[in-house]
C-alpha cells in the first residue's frame, strides 16, 4: 500500500503508473487531503522509484538496514562479554575504530561459496542482531576472541 499525503502529487504518481502499466495498482482511495492505493509486492520495484521515498537525515536510504528493528532480547552471557571487555579495555583511544574493522573482517572471513557474505548479512538483518551478537549466536565466539586478540596484539 502506498500513502501519498498530497492529492496533486498522488494523482501525478498514479497517472505515471497508469501510463506505463495500468493494471499494477488497484483500490485507489482518494480523500480530500491524501491518496492511498494498493499494489502487489512483486511490482514494488516498478512503483517505488515513482514514489520517490525520502528521509530526514544525512544520506540515509529508506531501505537501509539501519532502519530495521533490532533484537534487544539476545544477550551475550556475562562471562563471554567479560572476556571481550578485558581484551578491548587497554586499547588506546585512537585504535577503537579498528575493533569494528576487525569485527567486520571476521564476519567476512565466515563467508564461503556455500554461504556468501550477502547471505550472512541477510541472516543478521533477519535476526536483528549486531555483529558481536550474531557471532555469538552462531557459535563462533571463541574463534572471534582469538581473531580479535591476533589482530589487536599480533601473534603473542
Is 6 strand, coil or helix? coil
Could you give the angle at which helices 141-153 and 78-88 cross, rounded to 10 degrees? 10
DSSP line for 73-126:
S----HHHHHHHHHHHTTS-GGGHHHHHHHHHHHHHHT--SSS-HHHHHHHHHH
Examine the domain organization and report whether 122 and 89 are in the same domain: yes
Judge if 46 and 84 occupy the same domain. Answer: no
Share of the chain above pLDDT 70, in %: 87
pLDDT at 138 (0 to 100): 92
48: containing domain: 2-53
Whether residue 148 is found in the same domain as residue 95: yes
The total number of structural domains that make up the chain: 2
Q: Per-residue pLDDT for 116 more than 60?
A: yes
- Whole-number pLDDT of residue 154: 74
pLDDT in tens, 67-92: 666 777 788 888 888 989 888 888 88
Q: Do residues 92 and 134 share a domain?
A: yes
Look at the pTM and tell me if it is higher than 0.75: no
* Residue 148 and residue 93 share a domain: yes
Residue 141 lies in a domain: yes
Residue 125 lies in a domain: yes
Amino acid at each position: 500500500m502506498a500513502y501519498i499525503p498530497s492529492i496533486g502529487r498522488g494523482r501525478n504518481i498514479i497517472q505515471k503508473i497508469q501510463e506505463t502499466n495500468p493494471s499494477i495498482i488497484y483500490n485507489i482511495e482518494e480523500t480530500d487531503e491524501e491518496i492511498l492505493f494498493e499494489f502487489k509486492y512483486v511490482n514494488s520495484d516498478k512503483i517505488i522509484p515513482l514514489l520517490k521515498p525520502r528521509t530526514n537525515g544525512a544520506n540515509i536510504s529508506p531501505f537501509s538496514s539501519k532502519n530495521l528493528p533490532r533484537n534487544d532480547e539476545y544477550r551475550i552471557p556475562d562471562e563471554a562479554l567479560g572476556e571481550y571487555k578485558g581484551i578491548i579495555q587497554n586499547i588506546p583511544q585512537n585504535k577503537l575504530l579498528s575493533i569494528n574493522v576487525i569485527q567486520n573482517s571476521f564476519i567476512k572471513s565466515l563467508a564461503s561459496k556455500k554461504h556468501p557474505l550477502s547471505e550472512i548479512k541477510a541472516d543478521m538483518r533477519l535476526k536483528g542482531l549486531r555483529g558481536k551478537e550474531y557471532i555469538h549466536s552462531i557459535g563462533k565466539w571463541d574463534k572471534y576472541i582469538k581473531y580479535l586478540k591476533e589482530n589487536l596484539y599480533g601473534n603473542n
